[in-house]
């Protein structure tokens, strides 16, 4: 009977063919016409890991490493393996309690899931590291130590210059065109930032296969697609770390700055800003805390006053004024001016003078810092017939200032340099209206007061120009880069001599002679160094804060030796009084340290201790500190009141919780999406609305 149904084999064969055809078509759509699965597979299975090279090291002029890479250790935990670990022993070593332990494990799970390692304690202190390393076998495999290279600063100095390395923020991510990624570390200020590309080296990329629990299982394709990392290159700088340390010691307790430059190269020997901080504070586990403390400090320790502090240069400006007048042919080195202590010709006492000296010739006028002389010299320059009216004269004068490196950024190799300010005609036209001002109105410019503003860096650079008799190199820190090639163009601009002015050597000589007299028998006799001809100029700068006159800034510029200049320096001590009192001895000690490598004589050594122990806090900062303390006090008292209120409120809440509020019965409609009818915060469903605050 079966033979009758033989034709049915065709139906069955057809069914089989149809089933296979459907499967094949489906496979085609999945494998040939859908591309998303390939991406999904790689996304979940291949981890793109960036390999960070070690950062380059920065050396000082004598080859000492002023910063270094040290390896610290993070204690890592894999939460899924914690069971069975001797928790007590670990807690004893880390000095935490078991509640804290549980909390940290929980945080790790939330952050990074159970199966992936997370940081349990970052940057272990050496003592804890030693103890844990010894006992690690007791905590493995749940806990392990992971290397983490960080910066260390063996000299605890030069914080402002070196800058710090920190996590990149969102602004930086965008600016870098997403070269950096979230969580990357990069130089955030100072040399670390300016030479970031050199120091960072080249990041490598590793592709790692991972499994369904996100555990790495090995390199992808034997690492054929990986790029190796290239270590960062070292920097050799002009910094003399011992001078830098001494400068920071001398500036201790004071607000101000020291900038020392080698005139022949433009290399910066030292640059301090007081108050400063230990750069080690911004690395390691406490860095965030320390940063915020420094950030809100009223004395702004994060500000690098060497290039970001702008001051009227005061009398230290006088040698420049003399050079302008000499070059314009308005005076000769033998030009003299009666110095009566007040400047009369303008009808009213324009320049008060606290050092009534003699100004029989140029040298003496510098040595005795005669205000009238320089007010007069400035007026001569401004009213020069050659340039028509005063506006022409002022513009010419500004041109000279620009040639001296004032009023614009020098372009040093630190980010965030300030430009200072040299006023021009538009400024005065705005303040006094056009034609409403004369050389008398602005005569104080001649003695470096008034609208003129310069950074200590600019003044030190101007000293270089004088010491070199007419030229300078843009001040910079880095001498050369390890393995420098033609492609490293970053240093090119520092190797070009800048000589914008063509003032004859004789005029420089005259001014330099005057500056030498400042030390030999002028205002700064305490700045002399045995065996060296020091040329200098003091400054005592009047200044105002919110319209209120403050104690004078103590200014001092100098270079030495006279004929073969090796160091030019500018010292500013804010609100410390006469230039000769504080700034001059500081500069003198630093120059001696640099020239002789040591300080000679017990008297000089005692001087170091004397200066470094003096604390001079400007009144405005004292006021700010006081204000901050008062606010904190007020806040504390509010807080205390609050706590009292809270304790009554707690009693109130407790009585409320004894009667749980009635939940309205929910009627469930047919065929509804559950997520739509559940409240947005489902987990908080049973919290009741806060009762109204009772008014006492």
Binding site for other proteins (CB under 8 A): 1-2, 4-6, 8-9, 11-13, 15-17, 19-20, 22-24, 26-28, 30-32, 34, 36-38, 40-42, 44-46, 209-212, 217-218, 220-221, 668, 670-674, 678, 682-683
User: Judged by CB, which is closer to other proteins: 37, or 179?
Assistant: 37
User: Judged by CB, which is closer to other proteins: 209, or 310?
Assistant: 209
* Pairing of the two strands 58-59 and 235-237: parallel
User: Judged by CB, which is closer to other proteins: 15, or 600?
Assistant: 15
Q: How far is the CB of 32 from other proteins (least distance, A)?
A: 6
User: Judged by CB, which is closer to other proteins: 138, or 215?
Assistant: 215
User: Judged by CB, which is closer to other proteins: 486, or 682?
Assistant: 682
Q: Which has the closest alpha carbon to 262: 273, 252, 272, 271?
A: 271
Q: How far is the CB of 673 from other proteins (least distance, A)?
A: 7
Q: How far is the CB of 144 from other proteins (least distance, A)?
A: 21
Residue 275: burial class (beta carbons within 10 Å; 0-12, 13-18, 19+): buried
Q: How far is the CB of 664 from other proteins (least distance, A)?
A: 16
Q: How far is the CB of 31 from other proteins (least distance, A)?
A: 4
Q: Which residue is listed with tokens 């310069």?
A: 454
Q: How far is the CB of 141 from other proteins (least distance, A)?
A: 19
User: Judged by CB, which is closer to other proteins: 116, or 353?
Assistant: 116
Residue 490 near residue 198 (C-beta atoms within 8 A):
yes
Helix or strand or coil: residue 388?
Answer: coil
**Taking the CB of residue 352, how many other CB atoms lie within 10 A of it?**
12
Contacts with 676 (C-beta within 8 Å, 6 or more apart), sequence order:
none
CA distance 445 to 442: 6
Q: How far is the CB of 182 from other proteins (least distance, A)?
A: 25
Residue 227: burial class (beta carbons within 10 Å; 0-12, 13-18, 19+): middle
- Return the C-alpha torsion angle 96, 97, 100, 104, nearest 10: 60
What are φ and ψ of residue 476, in 5° steps?
A: -160, 165
CA distance 575 to 288: 32
CA distance 663 to 687: 10
User: Judged by CB, which is closer to other proteins: 217, or 645?
Assistant: 217
User: Judged by CB, which is closer to other proteins: 221, or 480?
Assistant: 221
Residue 532 near residue 588 (C-beta atoms within 8 A):
no
Q: What is the DSSP letter of 49?
A: E
Q: How far is the CB of 168 from other proteins (least distance, A)?
A: 30
Q: How far is the CB of 669 from other proteins (least distance, A)?
A: 11
Angle 407-409-413 from CA coordinates, rounded to 5°: 155
**Taking the CB of residue 391, how many other CB atoms lie within 10 A of it?**
18
User: Judged by CB, which is closer to other proteins: 673, or 687?
Assistant: 673
């Amino acid at each position: 009977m079966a033979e009758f149904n033989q034709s049915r084999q065709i139906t069955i064969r057809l069914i089989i063919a149809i089933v296979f055809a459907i499967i094949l078509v489906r496979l085609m759509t999945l494998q040939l016409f859908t591309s998303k699965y390939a991406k999904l597979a790689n996304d979940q299975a291949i981890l793109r890991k960036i390999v960070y090279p070690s950062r380059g090291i920065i050396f000082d002029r004598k080859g000492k490493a002023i910063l270094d890479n040290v390896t610290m250790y993070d204690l890592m935990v894999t939460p899924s393996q914690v069971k069975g670990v001797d928790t007590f022993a670990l807690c004893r070593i880390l000095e935490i309690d078991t509640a804290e332990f549980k909390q940290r494990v929980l945080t790790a799970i939330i952050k990074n899931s159970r199966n992936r390692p997370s940081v349990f304690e970052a940057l272990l202190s050496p003592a804890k590291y030693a103890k844990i390393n010894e006992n690690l076998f007791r905590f493995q495999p749940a806990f392990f130590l992971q290397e983490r290279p960080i910066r260390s600063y063996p000299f605890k100095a030069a914080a402002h210059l070196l800058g710090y390395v920190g996590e990149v923020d969102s602004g930086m991510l965008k600016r870098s065109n997403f070269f950096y990624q979230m969580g990357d570390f990069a130089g955030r200020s100072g040399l670390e930032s300016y030479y970031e590309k050199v120091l960072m080296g080249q990041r490598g990329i590793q592709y790692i296969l991972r499994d369904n629990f996100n555990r790495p299982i090995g390199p992808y394709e034997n690492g054929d697609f990986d790029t190796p990392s290239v270590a960062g290159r070292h920097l050799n700088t002009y910094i003399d770390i011992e001078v830098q340390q001494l400068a920071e010691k001398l500036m201790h307790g004071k607000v101000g700055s020291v900038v020392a430059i080698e005139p022949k190269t433009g290399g910066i020997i030292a640059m301090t800003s007081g108050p400063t901080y230990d750069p080690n504070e911004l690395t390691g586990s406490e860095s965030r805390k320390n940063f915020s403390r420094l950030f809100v400090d009223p004395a702004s320790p994060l500000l690098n006053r060497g290039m970001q502090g702008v001051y009227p240069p005061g009398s230290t400006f006088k040698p420049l004024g003399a050079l302008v007048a000499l070059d314009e042919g308005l005076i000769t080195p033998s030009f003299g001016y009666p110095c009566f202590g007040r400047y009369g010709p303008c009808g009213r006492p324009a320049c008060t003078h606290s050092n009534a000296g003699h100004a029989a010739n140029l040298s003496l006028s510098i040595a005795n810092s005669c205000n009238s002389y320089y007010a007069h010299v400035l007026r001569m320059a401004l009213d020069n017939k050659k340039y028509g009216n005063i506006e022409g004269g002022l513009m010419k004068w500004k041109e000279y200032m620009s040639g001296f490196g004032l009023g614009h950024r020098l372009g040093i190799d630190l980010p965030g340099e300030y430009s200072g300010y040299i006023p021009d005609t538009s400024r005065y036209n705005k303040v006094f209206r056009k034609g409403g001002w004369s050389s008398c109105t602005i005569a104080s410019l001649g003695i470096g007061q008034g609208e003129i503003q310069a950074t200590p860096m600019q003044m030190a650079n101007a000293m270089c120009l004088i010491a070199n008799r007419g030229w300078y190199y843009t001040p910079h820190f880095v001498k050369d880069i390890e393995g420098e090639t033609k492609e490293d163009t970053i240093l090119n601009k520092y190797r070009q001599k800048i000589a914008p002015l063509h003032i004859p050597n004789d005029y420089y000589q005259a001014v330099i002679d005057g500056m030498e007299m400042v030390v030999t028998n002028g205002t700064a006799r305490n700045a002399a160094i045995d065996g060296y001809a020091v040329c200098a100029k003091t400054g005592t700068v009047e200044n105002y804060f919110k319209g209120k006159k403050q104690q004078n800034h103590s200014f001092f510029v100098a270079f030495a030796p006279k004929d073969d200049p090796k160091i030019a320096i500018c010292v500013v001590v804010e609100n410390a009084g006469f230039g000769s009192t504080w700034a001059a001895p500081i500069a003198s000690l630093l120059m001696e340290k640099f020239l002789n490598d040591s300080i000679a004589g017990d008297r000089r050594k005692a001087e170091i201790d004397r200066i470094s122990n003096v604390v001079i806090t400007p009144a405005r900062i004292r006021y700010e500190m006081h204000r901050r303390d008062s606010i904190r006090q007020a806040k504390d008292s509010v807080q205390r009141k609050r706590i009292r209120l809270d304790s009554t409120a707690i009693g109130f809440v407790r009585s409320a919780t004894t009667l749980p509020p009635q939940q309205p019965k929910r009627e469930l409609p047919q065929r509804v999406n559950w997520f739509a009818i559940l409240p947005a915060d489902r987990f908080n469903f049973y919290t009741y609305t806060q009762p109204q605050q009772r008014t006492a």
